[in-house]
A and B are shown apart, each in its own frame.
With several copies, the nearest count.
Chain A
Amino acid sequence: MMQYGLLVMGAPYSSPAPHSALRFAHAVLARGHQLAGVFFYHDGVHNASSLMAPPQDELNMHDAWAELHQQHAVPLDVCIAAALRRGLMNESEAQRHGKQAYNLSPPFELTGLGQLLELQQRADRLITFA
């Protein structure tokens, strides 16, 4: 049994990386490993958007990640600097920036890049999807 960390740097619907990462995540768990965390960076932060509304016959990637968290308690960390630039913020960041709305909420958590490096240190394997 090993600890895996995933780094996701592509946006859903624009890159196949989130799809690959999600399928990989389920295969990791199916082989009896643990998922120490998923870190969303670069355009990968868009995976965390609670406002995405794809057509009903397409996978809602936000919901698919949230389900992974619910079933396996996998931390879903989003780089705060990459997120704010791209229009992703949680309630407290919205207040800080004087915005009326927010589009990121638990189980996704805004965090610093240090969390990625910590994940790389802690996990036996870090796999990048980009």
Chain B
Amino acid sequence: MILHILTKAPDSSAAAQMQQAVGAQDSVLLIEEAVTAALAPAWEAWEQCPSRIFLLLEDLKSRGLASIAAEHQLPTLEMDGFVALTEQYTKTVTWY
């Protein structure tokens, strides 16, 4: 079980590579530029990993995307929740 951390936009090659690598038990955390996925409801990863994609709230807030994420009921985490997630997964891979 792996936690995948994506830092680039959903239309980036980093995102495409991550999508190839995500296994059925893995989870995904979107940070930095990746939180713009809140603006991309058609992103295939939403289908690929339903209920296992999280967004970092402070990165949403600083970009003015927190209310859009809330509207779409996307699961968000504080930095503390990010650490908690890494506690559960022995391995993390960052896609940047």
B96 near A17 with CB under 8 A, answer yes
* Interface: A2 (CB within 8 A): yes
The residue from A2, A4, A9, A27 contacting B80, defined by CB atoms under 8 A apart: A27
B92 near A27 with CB under 8 A, answer no
Chain A residue numbers with a CB within 8 Å of B92 are: 125-128
Binds B, one of A28-36, A82-90, A92-100: A28-36
* Interface: B26 (CB within 8 A): no
* Interface: B71 (CB within 8 A): no
Question: How long is the Cα–Cα vector from A2 to B92 in the complex, in angstroms?
Answer: 15
Chain B residue numbers with a CB within 8 Å of A28 are: 83
Given contacts A2-B87, A125-B90, whether A23 and B96 have CB atoms under 8 Å apart is no
Chain A residue numbers with a CB within 8 Å of B83 are: 24, 27-28, 31, 33
Main secondary structure of the interface of B (DSSP, over half): helix
B interface residues, how many (CB within 8 angstroms): 19
The residue from B33, B79, B94 contacting A127, defined by CB atoms under 8 A apart: B94
Considering only CB atoms, which chain A residue lies closest to B93 in the complex? Answer: A128
B79 near A24 with CB under 8 A, answer yes
Chain A residue numbers with a CB within 8 Å of B33 are: 16
B84 near A20 with CB under 8 A, answer no
* Interface: A130 (CB within 8 A): yes
Chain B residue numbers with a CB within 8 Å of A9 are: 96
Q: Residues of B at under 8 Å CB distance from A?
A: 5, 7, 31-33, 58-59, 79-80, 82-84, 86-87, 90, 92-94, 96
